[in-house]
Chain A
Amino acid sequence: MRHILSVLIENEAGALSRVTGLFSARGYNIDSLTVQTTEDPTLSRMTIVTHGSDDVIEQITKQLNKLIEVVKVIDLNEADHIERELMLIKVRAAGKDREELKRTADIFRGRIIDVTEKTYTIELTGTGEKLDAFIKALDATAILETVRTGASGIGRGERILKI
């Protein structure tokens, strides 16, 4: 099953490679991983999307906690949570397609953030499924380039990950 883990980790050189090294050494999957420092510059927050049986997810959580630099790990799936991913997508937008692309972007609440005579670059946020749906809605031959961040997640309501 797909799980989304949030990890608070010391903002130190090499900390990220410990996490990725752990996943590859133990044969765990990383579907996506995002990381950035938090409002406290000594800490980074990672969101790791992974999948595996409950036993594997339990081991992943324990192994992450065992890393000296990891401060806290939570499995967001254990309660309500929100996740968002950002995509930048560059499409061919010439002639009669130009209007249609704009409309499609609007429907998905995408924003056009760069324009040339022949292209649009569209910014879109949402869940991974929403981004997938947007890509599907486009004519595949029109897509020039996509870049996605992978999911970031946060608990709903009063649920807070902090030290």
Chain B
Amino acid sequence: MCSSRLLALGLWLIAASASAAPAWEALGKPLAANEIASWDIDVRPDGVGLPPGHGSVEEGQVVYDTHCASCHGTFGESTDYLALAGGVGSLGTATPQRTVGSKLDYATTLWDYINRAMPFNRSKALSVNEVYAVTAYVLNLNDILPADAVLDERSLPQVEMPNRKGFTQAHGMMRADGKPDVRNTACMKDCLKTPPQVSSALPAGFTHQLYGELGPHFRQFMVAAPAAAAPTPAALAASNGCLACHAAQQTRVGPAFADVARRYAAVADAPAQLRQKVRAGGSGVWGSALMPPQTTVTDAALDQILGWILAGAAAP
């Protein structure tokens, strides 16, 4: 949730390179104002950056039940993914429960996060008004907003979060031995005395094993998409978010598509059976992990993807 500053820095670099830096000439291209605008989505605590729009708790319940409840639970109580509600007032107690309701200091951050990142398997699929509505609903699940509340770009920054004054910088984040992370004064010149040693607490290759190529997880950001040839089934699987959990040959959160092909090779009505399963979601066939209902992929695309999967999910 702290990416706004990084993004701002990125924009600054782009702007600098666009103005006059001959050494960089071969790199990139000057960005048009609308291209910059499509990246410049950060919303600040005081609401600067919020697009105009509105949504009610009532509308938010519909958005939530359709796009969020399968992972976060009907009341935001899920422990499988992340609880979104509860724990308000528990942070200082022996059993703190950290949710967006109990921990956030600004409601605008909740809007920004949902707008960027949720639903997990289809980020950026919601309209601006839907993000306002579902933000209102999540705040209502936390008893921060009443059931008849409506949010827009003016009222959202006025919402007072329970943990508004609870943030401190005096302690370390996560398990950084209690040391604060950022206590240095900025060095702007000849700063590296010794080369930095970057390391991770995770075993080597962990992220790659779990997710495979990271590229397909991030949608291509395109302002004006060139007229393209009809997408391949593999591309449809990527654009419909299937590759967030599946890969052709490796088991990830969900089974490898090649394994699915092997399992259903002799099943006559496999396409129909799998179409229903993917639409409805579920678990238990391959393990305990849950596939959320895939409601947004079109029938035509799903049929193409399933045909490709059942044929062994060969690379295009």
Partners in one complex: no
Give B contacts to A, CB under 8 Å. none
Give A contacts to B, CB under 8 Å. none
